[in-house]
Amino acid sequence: MALVEMKKVELALHRSVTEKVVASLQRLECCEIIGYSGDNASGETKGGPVSEHLKRYENLLSDARFALRFLENYRQGKVSFLAKAFSEKPHRNMVELESLSDETDFQDLVAQLRGLERQFVEIRTEMSQLAGLEAILGNFKDLSQPLLFFTTGTEKVKGVIGTMPVDQISRLELAFSSQVARDGELFVKVTDPAKDKDAKVALLYLRELDEKVSVLCAEVSFNRIELPRELSGTALEEIARIGERKTLFLEREEVLTLEAGRLSGEWLDRVQALSDFWTVMKGRYETLDSSESTEQINFLRFWAPADSLPKIEKELEPFNSLSDRTVKAPEEGEVVPSMLRNPAWASPCEPLTTMFGVPTYGGVDPTLMMAPFFYLFFGMCLGDAGFGVILALMLGGVLLKFPIKGNLRKFLIVMFICSLSTIVMGALTGSWLANTMDSFGFLNFLRPLRDRFVVWDPMNDPMTYLGVCLTLGFAQLIFGLGIAFWDALRRRSYMEAFADRGGWIMLLIGVALLFLVSIGKAPASLGLVAKALASGGAIVLFLTQGRSKKGLLSKAFSGALSLYGITSYLGDTLSYSRLLALGLSGAAIGLIINLLAKMISEGVPYVGWILALILFVIGNIFSLAINVLGAFVHSLRLQYVEFFSKFYEANGRIFSPFGYETQFVKIVESSDSHESN
Amino acid sequence: MDQVVTTLLTTMSEQLGAMIAVLGAGIAAGFAGSGSAIGIAIADEAASGIMTEDPGKFGLALLLLALPGTQGIYGLLAAFFAILKVGLLGGAAVKVTIWQGIGIFGSLMPIAIACYYSAIAQGKASAGAILLISKRPEEIGKAVILPAMVETYAVLALLLSIILMNSIKL
């Protein structure tokens, strides 16, 4: 329950071996590099080759990001969600990756891809322009004159096309017939007189009337549409021509898509592997870049778990003649990273702990103490053996079938253990998909078997089960105080241990015993002990809780006031009643589903049982989903709010070792274990 | 005249109790459901908002905006319990006096009131949490816990309603 002990290692290395040492440390994945934050960090001694390498990898990675985005877009054959989420990354080793990186003409690929992308963009622009033009010409389909008149015009004739408000049309027609008369032609189209506000209008006239027509147009708010100059045929002809061009573009796009798909099939895996390799290399040079150095010597400092020091020593043995190593314990005031280590049954809960906060180094890691309570409380909240069995089968199947790693695996294991606990709690409370065994006659034969395990019946006797929940809650609170007591002892702050924690533990146990005696659940002979404990605890608290205050009166006042804190313990204990409520709500929803299913199966002739089965299945899936969410959230909340608040200090920083941070491939040891660099 | 009064009183004493319980059940399910609907709508607005930026957050947002939905279920649950208790869902006929009916009505009030208000409040909390995951989706764990703090009081109300209803002996 304590955290892993950390040591600080300081390495002085000769320039010639620094890169190799950094590579070795990266492969070990157990050192957290402490960056040098001095003023002359980027002094003249650095720069040079390291910065160049760094820059090179950064550029490669930025190209790789582009290439990956492009290639993934054109990936052929979709990958199923499950496979994507759970499938194992391909294994590669560094030697292999390095030669892949050397052999690959990545710049050529990127140039190809950029070329392809540019062509796609061009096609898309052209297509949208054509679509726009097509829409405009569509309005003038009925115009029989060639568009040549409206674009450049001929020597004598000129024309304009455009839109104008429908209510101005009569005015235009009047003016046109009086001013242009026989020297021009007017084309007006209103598609839908009821709705259209704008009419499509084309005017054709002798060139010499140009000015007159311009004035006329301005008067009726005519809005001119400029057409591209190359249009010469009639609107219909031009539309047909646009159609042909669009087909051509589509064909070209298809060819390009095929090409992109081919490239994706050929390159995607390789680029993914390369991107990971370059990320690793970039990390390596970043570490080098952040180290302090003189002309000949580089200084590396890092945190490492004490028990991995022999491994590190062995790894660095070949460089012993060119390096110097000191190992130190953490000093006062240093922020040491925290690394959690717990037995297999509890370690899946580590993400739940760090979600609340990372334990302070030197403090308590609550994972081990929380895990059993969390599993138990989840089981009580979900509280149905049927649900437990379904969940256990599902999770077990997923865990066995897919090689899942990391936090997702831990989460699934937590849920698996929780589902086992749900089966136990469901069996103890006699809930198997609620009262299914009672509701449906053909399952009645299972009842004797079920009843053999039943200890509590929260449905018919909720008060007893409430007592169980509150007792468990009280036990967890006292346990939390006990941990704080132990932690204070360990840190030799005896006043905190005995006065702050001990006082409360005595008082709370005394009060709880008094309560039990008063309701007749504990022998009356304990009454005296209870009173002694309670008053002893209260006196300790009264005498000590004002110790930081000055003056007798304010000491006494603070001491007395601290006793008011008992209400918060009362509230915390009552908070555990949610275990009963959530358990009941799950069971009650199940009860209702069964009731409705039974009514349907008996009430509807012939197909009733099918409808009932559908209702039963869908209802239970729904109930399972919301109850799992509720059970998870509320049992976690009990840990965070009620339990952790008693002792847990979460001001730490998680230990994040320098290693292979990959996205697509898993880097494994190569057969010849030392890579050349 | 006397006879009319007698008949009236007889039917009242026979049926009014159960009907008062039904009234309570209606109020419980109605108010709890309304609260959940309002709460989810509040969270919905935030969810739609963040999805304009990143539609991929749908799954996470759905998880969070489903949280204020529990109150509606609690209300329905308590209502079912009540009508089950007064024998309106089949089973042996139960005789419910007016006073017992009023008792059942009263036992449904915690759930009706607390679920209505807590669902709306939880909707606001969920909306906030949805904004949190829009920036930091990796914090989904914390984002789920925060709105669940509000739900505590709906859970307590459900607990009290069930205990109260259980304590009324028919």
Summarize pLDDT for A121-172 with one digit per residue, the tens: 999 999 999 999 888 888 888 888 888 888 888 888 888 888 888 888 888 8
> Within an 8 Å CB–CB cutoff, is residue B170 touching chain A?
no
**Phi, psi for A328 (deg, rounded to 5):** -125, 155
CA distance A573 to A311: 48
CATH of the domain at B80: 1.20.120.610
Q: For A618-669, how does the pLDDT look when each residue is reduced to its tens digit (9 = 90+)?
A: 999 999 998 999 899 899 989 988 899 899 888 888 998 998 888 888 888 7
Q: Using the beta-carbon criterion (under 8 Å), do A633 and B73 form an inter-chain contact?
A: no
**Percent of chain A residues topping a pLDDT of 70:** 96
Q: Testing the interface with A: which of B159, B166, B168 to mutate, by most A Cβ within 10 A? A: B159
Within a domain: B11: no
Rounding to the nearest 10 degrees, give the CA dihedral for residues A46, A51, A52, A58: 170
> Within an 8 Å CB–CB cutoff, is residue A81 touching chain B?
no
Q: Which whole number is the average pLDDT over A277-287? A: 90
Work out the burial of residue A523: count CB atoms within 10 Å of its CB; fewer than 13 is exposed, 13-18 middle, 19 or more buried. Answer: exposed
Count up the domains in chain B and report the number.
Answer: 1
Q: Which whole number is the average pLDDT over A573-594? A: 88
Within a domain: B53: yes
Which of B77, B90, B163 has the CB atom closest to A585's CB atom?
A: B77
User: Is the model more confident about B103 or about B151?
Assistant: B103
Nearest CA in chain A to B74: A585
Return the pLDDT at B63. Answer: 80
**Percent of chain A residues topping a pLDDT of 90:** 37
Task: Please check the confidence at residue A511 and state whether its pLDDT lies above 60.
Answer: yes
For chain A, the average pLDDT equals 87
CB A130 within 8 A of CB A242: yes
CA distance A323 to A25: 14
Q: Which whole number is the average pLDDT over A305-333? A: 88
> Within an 8 Å CB–CB cutoff, is residue A532 touching chain B?
no
CA distance A436 to A593: 9
CA distance A568 to A499: 18
> Which residues from A are below 8 Å from B163, CB to CB?
462-463, 466
Which of B63, B76, B148 has the CB atom closest to A634's CB atom?
A: B148
Q: Using the beta-carbon criterion (under 8 Å), do A580 and B73 form an inter-chain contact?
A: no
Task: Please check the confidence at residue A427 and state whether its pLDDT lies above 90.
Answer: yes
With CA atoms as reference, report the closest residue to A508 among A541, A483, A545.
A541
Within a domain: B1: no
Within a domain: B8: no
Task: Please check the confidence at residue B90 and state whether its pLDDT lies above 70.
Answer: no
Nearest CA in chain B to A464: B163
Q: Which fold has domain A145-233?
A: Alpha-Beta Plaits (3.30.70)
**Complex confidence, ipTM:** 0.72
Nearest CA in chain A to B83: A592
Range of the domain at B61: 17-167
Within a domain: B5: no
Return the pLDDT at A67. Answer: 92
Q: Work out the pLDDT band at A42, boundaries 50, 70, 90.
A: very low
Return the pLDDT at A227. Answer: 83
> Within an 8 Å CB–CB cutoff, is residue A104 touching chain B?
no
Return the pLDDT at A41. Answer: 46
For the record, the structure tokens of B46 come out as: 């935030």
> Within an 8 Å CB–CB cutoff, is residue A552 touching chain B?
no
CB atoms within 10 A of CB A316: 20
Pairing of the two strands A184-189 and A292-293: unpaired
Q: How far is A628 from chain B (nearest CA, A)?
A: 12
User: Is the model more confident about A210 or about A388?
Assistant: A388
Q: Testing the interface with A: which of B84, B162, B166 to mutate, by most A Cβ within 10 A? A: B162
Within a domain: B59: yes
Of the spans A28-42, A469-483, A663-677, B134-148, which averages the highest pLDDT? A469-483
Q: How far is CA A155 from CA A145, A181, A314, in A?
A: 16, 20, 94
DSSP letter string, A561-608: HHGGGHHHHHHHHHHTTHHHHHHHHHHHHHHHHHHHHHHHHHHSTTTH
Interface A-B, measured as beta-carbon pairs within 8 A, has a size of 68
Q: Using the beta-carbon criterion (under 8 Å), do B77 and A637 form an inter-chain contact?
A: no
Residues 454-473, chain A: which have Cβ within 8 Å of B? Answer: 462-463, 466
> Within an 8 Å CB–CB cutoff, is residue A575 touching chain B?
yes
Q: How far is B39 from chain A (nearest CA, A)?
A: 16
Q: For A56-66, how does the pLDDT look when each residue is reduced to its tens digit (9 = 90+)?
A: 999 999 999 99
Q: For A185-243, how does the pLDDT look when each residue is reduced to its tens digit (9 = 90+)?
A: 888 877 777 777 788 888 888 888 888 888 888 888 888 888 888 888 888 888 999 99
For the record, the structure tokens of A665 come out as: 């491939």
CB A657 within 8 A of CB A80: no
